[in-house]
């Protein structure tokens, strides 16, 4: 019983200096941060604790402290630009790692809480708070996009590479996932799993803390802090604060250590070839947001507009299709998975017709060789599907001409349409030869970016008419307003 590889590569970039954040939140109060452990090395961590998470002043002190650390880290990547003029971009990008998807959600809530705060007037917050909020929101937004690497949950990176015997849901528990992959010395996977399920040995990786810890330790400690705060006794206050810090530190430290073990495990897996190309796109998007912030751009809106949402959906779908194709192209394990579902195939070339020429619509004679493969795969692709091949030189493109079942196997004839050079005879090695074994998968290909109406011209189908109340303004902005929580 142990975890097994399900990919040959790690398809996510792992930065040489990732910033690990373990956010903890308080139960029963939506979006109330309790603590965060943050740092760029196993031995260099900072623990930030909110002694009374219900107190909003303390929350924003926490946000400012965490914001300073994160912004110092992000700013360290806003140094070297590659290329010149408008098209230049930063040559490196930050990478924040959290334990699980819940961690991303906690950062999203924190970003939302911070990005609209005013730095002047009543209840002003330090300058870094809204800046931090906007950057967090940017990172959380990119994390929704498949294939990006600026904010990633470590459990997702691990379970992409290792298959365990647990359900997807159980795989989101860092401790039990690590128990499958690399049980501590001297323990079997079963023993390590039993430990992973015991919150006294392996406290939850957050953002929620163990309810037993909350009841037994956290609640009394917060009460003592409150009492000291009311009395205004500085000595008592320091003691209560130190006690809380120790309590929380005890809860996060095991996760912190496990995070760095997981990171070094992930480092031992070779990175997929195409991850570099995706990382370049991360750098470009990092640069463009950084320039937007430098120009004093607005915080991200609370809700997407109709046009913004449609644009975002098209980008998300595009990114997912590209990422899935990239993975299958790079990784024989992923390709095998697609093949077993009939979405890709591999076979041996039976015959080829390398000299076949056709006349294009522009009246040019071009080579369009036919190649027939025999495959055992349960192919489910129809004629007309455009293909790419990881086993042929770069640029190779083909289209399925016909699919004929032949006994238990299938004969697939493809027409080679690209990657043969510019001359009238294909360059050598660009047309598969009889006996050659090769794989094909569908080309996610180029698609025009959908064009939506201009963002200030939302059409009548997607916006309330002039005489209809605006759905947004129908709910007054301060509907959810509450007392600020000054308690002195």
User: How near is the Cβ of 257 to other proteins at its closest, in Å?
Assistant: 31
Count of Cβ atoms closer than 10 Å to residue 323 Cβ: 18
Q: Are 485 and 55 in contact (CB under 8 A)?
A: yes
Distance in angstroms (rounded) separating the CA atoms of residues 228 and 243 = 12
Q: Which is nearer to other proteins, 245 or 318 (CB)?
A: 318
H or E segment and range at residue 358: strand 357-359
Decide whether 179 or 414 has the Cβ nearer to other proteins: 414
The nearest distance, CB 50 to other proteins, in angstroms, is: 26
- Cβ neighbours for 343, distance < 8 A, ≥ 6 positions apart: 380, 381, 441, 442
Copy the structure tokens of residue 191. 């023993």
309 binds other proteins (CB under 8 A): yes
Rule CB under 8 A: choose which of 320, 336, 366, 411 binds other proteins.
Answer: 320
Region from 236-244, 272-280, 303-311, 351-359 binding other proteins, contact rule CB under 8 A: 303-311
Per-residue binder mask for other proteins (CB under 8 A), 414-453, x = binder: ----------------------------------x-xxxx
1 lies in the binding site for other proteins (CB under 8 A): no
Q: How far is CA 170 from the centre of its chain?
A: 19
* The binder of other proteins chosen from 242, 459, 484, 485 (CB under 8 A): 459
DSSP β-ladder status, 44-49 and 151-153? unpaired
Position 313 contacts other proteins (CB under 8 A)? yes
- Single residue of 212, 304, 351, 376 touching other proteins by CB under 8 A: 304
Output 351 or 406, the one with its CB closest to other proteins.
Answer: 406
Q: CB of residue 447 vs other proteins: minimum separation in angstroms?
A: 10
Which region holds residue 384: left if phi is over 0, alpha if psi is between -120 and 50, else beta?
left
Interaction pattern, residues 191-220, with other proteins; x per rule: CB under 8 A: ------------------------------
Q: Which is nearer to other proteins, 308 or 332 (CB)?
A: 308
CB 184 within 8 Å of CB 205:
no
From the list 192-200, 221-229, 346-354, 454-462, the region that binds other proteins by CB under 8 A is 454-462
47: CB partners within 8 A, 6+ apart: 35, 36, 37, 245, 248, 249, 252
Nearest to 102 by CA among 42, 18, 181, 173: 173
**Least distance to other proteins, CB of residue 445, Å:** 12
Cβ proximity of 349 and 379 under 8 Å: no
Beta-carbon count within 10 A of 301 CB: 10
134/131 Cα distance (integer angstroms): 5
Nearer to other proteins, 146 or 208 (CB): 146
**Site for other proteins (CB under 8 A): how many residues?**
34
402 binds other proteins (CB under 8 A): no
Element (H, E) at 225: helix 219-231
Q: Which of 356, 342, 344 shows the shortest CA–CA distance to 415?
A: 356
Residue 380 as a binder of other proteins (CB under 8 A): the answer is yes
121 binding other proteins? (CB under 8 A): no
Minimum gap (Å) between residue 361 Cβ and other proteins:
8
Among 64, 68, 463, 487, binds other proteins (CB under 8 A): 463
> Helix or strand or coil: residue 400?
strand
- Footprint on this chain of other proteins (rule: CB under 8 A): 144, 146, 303-307, 309-310, 312-314, 316-317, 320, 341-342, 361, 378, 380, 448, 450-453, 459-465, 468, 471
């Amino acid at each position: 019983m142990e975890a097994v590889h399900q990919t040959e590569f790690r398809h996510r970039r792992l930065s040489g200096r990732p910033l690990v954040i373990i956010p903890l939140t308080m139960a029963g109060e939506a979006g109330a941060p309790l603590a965060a452990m943050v740092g760029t090395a196993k031995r260099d961590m900072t623990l930030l604790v909110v002694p009374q998470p219900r107190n909003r002043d303390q929350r924003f002190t926490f946000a400012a402290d965490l914001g300073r650390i994160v912004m110092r880290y992000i700013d360290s990547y806003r140094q070297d630009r590659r290329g010149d003029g408008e098209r230049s971009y930063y040559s490196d990008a930050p990478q924040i790692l959290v334990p699980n998807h819940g961690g991303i959600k906690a950062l999203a809530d924190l970003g939302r809480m911070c990005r609209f705060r005013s730095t002047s007037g009543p209840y002003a917050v330090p300058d870094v708070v809204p800046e931090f909020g906007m950057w967090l929101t940017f990172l959380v937004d990119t994390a929704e996009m498949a294939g990006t690497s600026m904010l990633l949950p470590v459990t997702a990176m691990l379970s992409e590479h290792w298959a365990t015997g647990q359900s997807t849901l159980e795989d989101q528990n860092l401790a039990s996932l690590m128990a499958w992959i690399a049980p501590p010395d001297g323990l079997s996977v079963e023993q390590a799993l039993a430990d992973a399920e015991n919150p006294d040995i392996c406290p939850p990786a957050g953002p929620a803390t163990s309810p037993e810890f909350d009841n037994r330790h956290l609640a009394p400690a917060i009460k003592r802090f409150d009492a000291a705060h009311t009395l205004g006794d500085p000595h008592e206050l320091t003691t209560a604060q130190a006690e809380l810090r120790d309590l929380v530190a005890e809860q996060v430290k095991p996760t912190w250590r496990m995070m760095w073990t997981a990171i070094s495990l992930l480092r031992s897996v070779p990175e997929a070839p195409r991850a570099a190309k995706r990382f370049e796109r991360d750098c470009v998007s990092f640069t463009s947001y950084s320039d937007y912030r430098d120009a004093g751009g607005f915080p991200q809106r609370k809700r997407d507009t109709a046009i913004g949402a449609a644009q975002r959906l098209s980008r998300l779908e595009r990114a997912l299709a590209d990422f899935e194709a990239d993975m299958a192209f790079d990784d024989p394990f992923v390709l095998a998975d697609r093949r077993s579902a009939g979405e890709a195939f591999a076979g041996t070339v039976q015959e080829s017709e390398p000299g076949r020429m056709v006349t294009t619509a522009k009246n040019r004679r071009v080579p369009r060789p036919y190649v027939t493969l025999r495959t055992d795969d349960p192919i489910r692709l129809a004629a007309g599907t455009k293909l790419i091949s990881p086993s042929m030189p770069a640029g190779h493109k083909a289209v399925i001409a016909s699919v004929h079942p032949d006994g238990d196997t299938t004969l697939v004839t493809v027409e080679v349409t690209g990657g043969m050079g510019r001359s009238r005879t294909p360059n050598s090695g660009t047309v598969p030869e009889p006996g050659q074994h090769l794989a094909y998968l569908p080309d996610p290909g180029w698609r025009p970016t959908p064009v939506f109406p201009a963002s200030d011209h939302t059409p009548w189908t997607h916006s309330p008419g002039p005489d209809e109340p605006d759905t947004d303004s129908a709910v007054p902005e301060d509907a959810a307003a509450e007392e600020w929580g000054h308690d002195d």
